[in-house]
Amino acid sequence: MLERFRQFWTNFWSPVAHLLIRWGVSPNTVTFVGTLGVSAGALIFFPQGMLLTGVLVITAFVFSDMIDGYMARTTGSVSKFGAFWDSTLDRIGDGAIFGGLVLYYAGSHAESQLGPTQLYLCLTLYCLVMGATTSYARARAESLGMKAKGGLAERADRLVAILVMTGLSAIFDLPLLMEITLWVLALANTQTVVVRVLMVRDQAAAEAAASE
């Protein structure tokens, strides 16, 4: 859903990308620094209950995911390792964001309006695992020569939803905004995994039938 806005943000950040290129910074370095920033913002501030600060720090670094790709295309340095490096660090960043929220709900700073904080600790952990599973399902399918892109919970949608609602819940002191978002993401992640599994099953069955 939100992939349609990727080009807008890429154009917006392109001057920064060109500046980094002139300074001799590599796309892989930008990816690494961006992941460090996202992870630090989530794992340092979220567990302390500083949700808005964490969101602002994460947001400042999360756009590196667009900048590094633009830099690689501009400099002609697109490579298989770069794609692997980017995808691998994406998983670390995503895990840090939801892991930070797990630690938030495990701590004394947590607040909840739609149930006990323990429930949302488990729900956030579920979102972390299922978010990683959606990415793995697509990657594994593509390694087998199949397609598995579909479902409601694309990576950009997951990140924007949880970051925006976490920030708003902190600004307006309404924990239920984040809680509702976690329920929605849990359902969307589950639907996405099911859709991708069925897509691969159908493709595998079609290939098997064609080879008979």
In angstroms, rounded to a whole number, what is the distance separating the alpha carbons of residues 87 and 24?
Answer: 23
In a domain, 130, yes or no: yes
Is residue 93 a part of any domain in this protein? yes
Domain tally for the chain? 1
Catalytic residue, candidates 65, 68, 86, 90 = 90
Q: Residue 36: inside a domain, yes or no?
A: yes
Distance CA 84, CA 22 (A): 25
Contacts of 153 (CB under 8 A, 6+ apart): 131, 134, 185, 188, 189, 191, 192
Q: Helix, strand or coil for residue 25?
A: coil
**For each of the chain's 212 residues, which pLDDT tens digit applies?**
445 556 666 666 778 877 888 898 888 899 999 999 999 999 999 999 999 999 999 998 987 777 887 888 888 878 889 889 988 999 999 999 999 999 999 998 888 888 899 999 999 999 999 999 999 999 999 999 999 988 888 888 899 999 999 999 999 999 999 999 999 999 999 999 999 999 999 999 999 888 87
Does residue 212 form part of some domain? Answer: no
Contact (CB, 8 A) for 104 and 110: yes
* Closest alpha carbon to 5 in 66, 95, 50, 84: 66
Q: What is the CATH number of the domain that holds 24?
A: 1.20.120.1760
Domain span at residue 198 reads 2-206
90 belongs to the catalytic site? yes
Gap between the Cα atoms of 29 and 32, Å rounded: 5
